[in-house]
Amino acid sequence: MKLDKNYNKLIKSIDNLVTNEVPLVSNLANLSKILYDSFEGTCWCGFYLCDDEEDAMYLGPFQGPVACTKIPYSKGVCGACVTKKESILVPNVHEFPGHIACYSLTNSEVVVPVIKDEKVVGVIDLDSTNYNNYTNNDVLALEEVANIISRVF
Ligand code: SME
């Protein structure tokens, strides 16, 4: 599903689901499943959580194959997202210098920062075995999701 039609419904349901009444990990666990199911062609979807003391991020809740557990800010699409503090859409991961191939069948990827008090606290990462799987519309939707979940970090 591309989000054009169901964009508002998805965002609204996520807005209703995310709550400060449970730990962060519980919110992210459900969200990883919702995002995995909502973005067609996704083979891996999850969160990496920032640790500024380590200059690295650690694997959070996810859906899909086993993934890298620690990514330095200097590495990969996720690292570029944190250091540039912006979403990164990668139509072909094989053309992205330094891409980390956690899952060898991935061909495209999108990573969106979660920003709290002007700091990146984590990222949302979606991978696909398709080339060009994600659109700018998907990025906009994921940025709205990131904005919603920033309130429970
Ligand atoms: N490909 C990412 C690493 C995380 S996995 O895709 C789950 C990157 O280059 O940062």
Indicate if ligand 1 lies below 6 Å from the C-beta of 99: yes
Which letter, b or e, does each residue of 105-125 get, where b requires 16 or more Cβ atoms within 10 Å of its Cβ? ebbbbbbbbbbbeeebbbbbb
**Structure pTM?**
0.95
Q: Which atom of ligand 1 is nearest to the CA of 101?
A: 1
Measured from the CB, is residue 78 less than 6 Å from ligand 1?
yes
48 lines ligand 1 (CB under 6 A): no
Residue 1 scores a pLDDT above 80:
no
| Residue type at position 108 | S
- Percent of residues, the chain, with pLDDT higher than 70: 96
CB 114 within 8 A of CB 153: yes
Q: Return d(Cα 40, Cα 25) in angstroms, integer.
A: 24
95-116 confidence digits (pLDDT tens): 999 999 988 899 999 999 999 9
What's the average model confidence in pLDDT over 34-63? 97
Task: Give residue 99's pLDDT.
Answer: 94
Residue to mutate, 32, 62, 78, ligand 1, most ligand atoms under 8 Å from C-beta: 78
* Tokens 């991961």 found at: 93
